[in-house]
Structure 1
Amino acid sequence: MRGRIIKESIDLFDKKGFSKTSIQDIVDTIGVTKGTFYYYFKSKQELLRDIHLNYIKELLKEQEIILRDEYISFEEKMQKLIYLIIKNIRVHGKSARVFNREVRHLDEEQVKSVNVYRKEFRFNLQKLIEEGIEKGEFREHLRSDIVIFGILGMVNRSYNWYKPDGEVTEEELVSIYMDLILNGIKSEPNSK
């Protein structure tokens, strides 16, 4: 039942917004009582927090598998990690969109509990950049922290506009992002 409450709430929060969705709306959609809701969650805010915790913890598990792969380059790991985020738009896009739009409704402690995992995800990527620099795969003198903020800013915003069933495939989007990250937008000297 907990999973069903989360799933239906994500849909409602995505359609109506967090503020305009009541606990009564949630239980009416599922066909249960408020008592059932309160058995699993103390508040709507706790539900919102748990929506994102479920999402980010799953991403961290998948991130760890990619990072531990000793047989692929740092560039390939970065590509797989960007693909991980983009492919999750199909399955978890609503939950990421809801959280990013509605995080302002959480109290400070709830935000802190989520940010622990978000920071872990970011620091893992930052470490990947630093190791890639150390091994000569990425340019020296990069500020790994700023590079990762830039990459995550670009990739995470995809939840707001990217349509997995649209004209650009997940693989094409990842390829565009990787080209932009690795090569930028400046034309090559002999390409004019």
Structure 2
Amino acid sequence: EEIHSVVIAIMPLECSVTLQQIFPLLNGTYSNHGKMFLNNKKVESTVAMTAYTLEILPDGCSNSLFTTVYHIHNWKQKRGLDNVGDLVTTLEKVIKTNENTVLMSMNGTGRAGTMLALFNSMLFVNKGKEVNTKEIVEKLRAERCGLIDNAEQYGTVYRAMAFWFKSKSADEEVQKKINEFAPCVQ
């Protein structure tokens, strides 16, 4: 199936496989990966995240596919994410596209699970449903042991939700509660 976007959390030099081995990192460069031609059409960077727009042409196909890879490069393995703003912005983009997405870490399920729990929480809110992040995490962990490795990653979900509400809501009562319970969220 076509994957519209990939959100990947990996620090530079974190594992033996680098992003450059998977796809071309520079705008206008290309490579072959197996029987697929990969062309990097666009690169956009912020301090903590880089977005790569890739054109993918599988062998024998005349129509290319486009995928955006969002690389979160400041999230240490087995840790929470200090600045959640880019993660929230990225997941908002993914939710708006309403297309197939891969959330991944190159080392285990902790960061990927954290992103998945946040994604589900944000999706519930967008659908007008009540969110119980603890239940979401419990259900995900029941399906996949080790999802969200530790309290720091669990806290990242809550801080990211607070950041999201803070940036989206104009309601004074919501802003007051966020400032009371999460004054330093960024």
More helix by share: 1
More strand by share: 2
Q: Check whether TM > 0.5.
A: no
Rg comparison, structure with higher value: 1
Higher relative contact order, structure no. (Cα contacts within 8 Å, ≥ 6 residues apart)? 1
